[in-house]
Every structure is written in structure tokens, then in C-alpha cells.
Amino acid sequence: MVGAFGTWGGWSALTAVGTIGAVAVAVFLQWWISRTERQRTPELTVVKDELWKFSSGGWPSLRLAVRNAAGKHAAHDVQVSVDRVAQANGATAYLLPNTWLRWANLAGQATVNIPAGAPRYVEIGSFVDGTAAAEPDVPVLNLATGASGGLPVKKSPCIVDLTVTATNCDARRWRITITFLPSEVDSKKPQDVTLEVHAT
């Protein structure tokens, strides 16, 4: 045994092998922890669920769910920014820097935290009696932008480009397309309202 230890450099060789092993284990553990944390990074999606359209005072209102995937960390300070609004195939477009959509039941609050597997609802807007006296009666969708009175949309289709951000995950862009027709009973109210959501 003594000869064997002498061949390998004695205890110093065993110590070196042990040190290398410890470093390898530490590197592996660091990689594993980093990989696990990346897997738990919040993953936010904009979802049209069964609650996307509801009645508010007899007028249709629209909202979307922002959902964090199950098994993730909570998403912090989530905000839905409005980048651009286009009406009637882009004939009328608005660029809206620093404008955000309001969270349902949280007046004036720009950001929320979203736990894993949970949705938070963001308001798209409500149809309102907004036609001026000298104009023909048409449906008016008042987009729920920021703390302001909103942005009136009178032409269909309406395309809204959004960016969803949080402090602990990457931003994602989304596009929603809203279509509607004047009601045959009351031309100020909409019928055949549709809402489509796509990642861009």
C-alpha cells in the first residue's frame, strides 16, 4: 500500500483528486440551480377565456386574462402597455407611448403581481353611447387606456398592439383584433363582437 501511494504521489495526489471532485460537484450544483431557476421564470400569456365579454349597464365590455404558467415564480409588477391602435385596416392609427391598460377592479393601478397558475384580468374597454349629435349613430368602443378617459374607437376592425412586461421575466408582444357591427335594433350598440388574440 505504501508503494502504491508513493506511485500516485501519496496523500497529496488523493487530496488533489478530492479537490477536483468537489469543484466538479460544485459546478454541477450551480448549473442545476441555475437551470431550475430558469425553468421557474414566470411565463405570461394573454388569454381569451369565457369571461372575455360581459355586460356593464346594458353595454358590452371586453377584457382579457393575463395568466402566469403553473409551477413558476410569481410575476412581479406586470404591466400591459399599449403600443399602437389601428382602426379599419390601419386607415387611422394611433401610437401610444407610455400608455397602459387598466387592471379589472383595480382603478388607477398600472401594475400587479400574478402568482403561478393564476390569471389577472385586464380591461380592454367598454362600448358606450359616444356618438356626437351631428354624426350618424355607430358603436363606440372606449379603450381602457391608463388613468385617462380612454380612447374612442368607432371603426371596425380595431387592432391593438400590446407589450406585457414584468420585472422578473422577458417582455412579450401581443396583438388583439376586435370586430363589431352596428346592432339592427339600436345602431349605437354593437352586435357580432369578436376578439382575437395572437402573440407577435
On whether the CB atoms of residues 79 and 165 are closer than 8 A, the answer is yes
Looking at residues 88-114, what average pLDDT do you find? 84
Q: What is the pLDDT of residue 92?
A: 77
- Tell me the residue type at 186: D
Looking at residues 77-85, what average pLDDT do you find? 94
More confident residue, 60 or 19: 60
- Can you give the residue ranges of every domain in the chain? 2-39, 44-199
Looking at residues 80-106, what average pLDDT do you find? 85
**pLDDT class of 26 with cuts at 50, 70, 90:** low
Tens digit of each residue's pLDDT (9 = 90 or more) over 181-194 = 999 999 999 999 99
Q: What is the pLDDT of residue 39?
A: 65
Is pLDDT of 172 > 90?
yes
Q: What is the pLDDT of residue 96?
A: 80
Looking at residues 33-39, what average pLDDT do you find? 58
**pLDDT class of 74 with cuts at 50, 70, 90:** very high
Tens digit of each residue's pLDDT (9 = 90 or more) over 111-152 = 999 999 999 999 999 999 887 777 788 999 999 887 566 888
**pLDDT class of 45 with cuts at 50, 70, 90:** very high
Q: What is the pLDDT of residue 9?
A: 56
**pLDDT class of 78 with cuts at 50, 70, 90:** very high
